[in-house]
Amino acid sequence: MRPWLETVVMPTDRSWLLFDRQLPDFPFNWHYHPEFELTLTLNSEGMRFVGDHIESYGDGDLVLVGPNLPHAWPRARSAR
Q: What is the pLDDT of residues 3-59, one digit of tens each?
A: 999 999 989 999 999 988 877 777 778 999 999 999 998 888 889 999 999 999 999
pLDDT at residue number 72: 93
Its pTM stands at 0.83
What residue spans define the domains of the chain?
Answer: 33-80
Residue 63 has pLDDT above 80, yes or no: yes
d(CA 69, CA 51): 6
Q: Taking Cα atoms as reference points, which of 55, 50, 57, 9 lies closest to residue 30?
A: 50
Burial of 71 (0-12, 13-18, 19+ CB in 10 A): buried
pLDDT at residue number 20: 87
